[in-house]
Amino acid sequence: MRFYTKQHKFYCGIDLHTKKMYVCILDESGEIRLHRNIRTARDVFLSVIDPFREDIVVSVECMFTWYWISDLCAAEGIPFVLGHALYMKAIHGGKAKNDKIDSHKIAVLLRGGMIPMAYTYPARMRATRDLLRRRNHLMRKRAELYAHIQNTRSQYNLSDYLGRIAKAQNRQGVVEQFEEPCVQKMLHADLAVIEAYDPIIAKMERDIISMANHHDPVAYALLKSIPGIGRILGLVILYEIETIKRFPSVQDFVSYCRLVKCTKESNGKTYSSSGKKIGNSHLKWAFSEAAVLFLKGNEPGKQYLNRLTNKHGKGKALSILAHKMGRAVYFMLKNKQAFDQKKFLGL
């Protein structure tokens, strides 16, 4: 956990919403200089903080509407701090909670050097990252339709296996295998939506790849040197990391990727695990997928996994492999070196 500890003359805490935002400004002695609910607009915000522009820092809690105020502060040369939502327990733990109280608490945490910082993703790559996340969302929706078709086959106990219907040529004659007209209409609807998804997703992939080559082609090529990491996984890892320099150590990186297990301890006793949702879920998914795909047609990799499985069990062995891949990616990007499988497997 990182805290913002720089000193300023004024501290601005904002409880941000789409239409309204509650602004609280404290001076260096902790006195409230302004506490007001204003319209969520650039010109209104700038006019409110104008008397304090001499030396002010602005902080909001990390939620889906922070992009515009982060970009505005960057353009105006105003220090901006994005508060980590899961760490800001002081906001959620009070007896009473409203926008006015929350904005004051954010300002107090900011002034006291106790505001837990989330990473403020720069605007240069942010829109492409969001486009990639949307592509992955559509892919999951399409996968749900495939799964529904296969599950329908199981419901009606068809003897013939439908095959890999993700390939368009394997979808011919699938609907006709079902006798019930309503089932046929249902599957026709599934296939129609799948066919609508296909060209949209393909175009999104082409656009994202062209942007990836524009943003950081070296890092993208390094990631694809790992067996099992292709175009999409490489893109996910590249855009979710943004720059490896933001992580002081490999431990910080694998923790951010949710590849470590956190525990609660007190008085030498371990009570339970915690912090499972703190970190980047997209990187967790990417490295979990990469660990499975790494083994495809890779005999040395399978032998390494077998050794881990004999010692830890299959589920934990895959988690260890994903963790090891995360560590490898950190040092690859930091040292600008391609993947070395012999070194990775200790051969």
Structural domain spans, the chain: 10-118, 126-215, 223-345
- pLDDT score recorded for residue 38: 95
Give the DSSP per-residue string, 251-313.
Answer: HHHHHHTT-S-EEEEETTEEEEEE-TTSS-HHHHHHHHHHHHHTTTT-HHHHHHHHHHHHHH-
Which residue in 216, 270, 275 sits closest to 241, CA to CA? 216
Contact 36, 104 (CB under 8 A): no
pLDDT band at 20 (very low <50, low <70, confident <90, very high): very high
CA atoms of 187 and 174, how far apart (whole Å): 9
Place of tokens 């929706």: 141
Among 115, 178, 114, 131, which Cα is nearest to 151's? 178
**Alpha helix segments (H runs only) across the chain:** 42-49, 67-76, 89-92, 99-111, 123-155, 181-215, 217-224, 231-241, 250-256, 281-293, 299-312, 314-335, 341-345
**Rounded to 5 degrees, what are φ and ψ at 36?**
-150, 145
**Among 82-96, 182-196, 198-212, 300-314, which stretch is predicted with the lowest mean pLDDT?**
82-96
Any idea which fold 10-118 has? Nucleotidyltransferase; domain 5 (3.30.420)
- Residue 161: which residues within 8 A CB-CB, separation 6 or more? 153
Give the model's pLDDT for residue 126. Answer: 92
Report whether pLDDT(55) > 70.
yes
pTM of the model: 0.84
Task: Copy the structure tokens of residue 203.
Answer: 């175009």
Q: Band of the pLDDT at 204, cuts 50, 70, 90?
A: very high
The upper half-sphere exposure of residue 64, i.e. CA atoms within 13 Å in the direction of its Cβ, equals 2
Residue among 93, 88, 105 at smallest CA distance from 14: 105
Is the predicted pLDDT of residue 60 greater than 90, yes or no?
yes
Residue with tokens 């996968």: 143
Predicted confidence (pLDDT) at residue 1 exceeds the cutoff of 90? no
Residue that the structure tokens 């492999």 belong to: 321
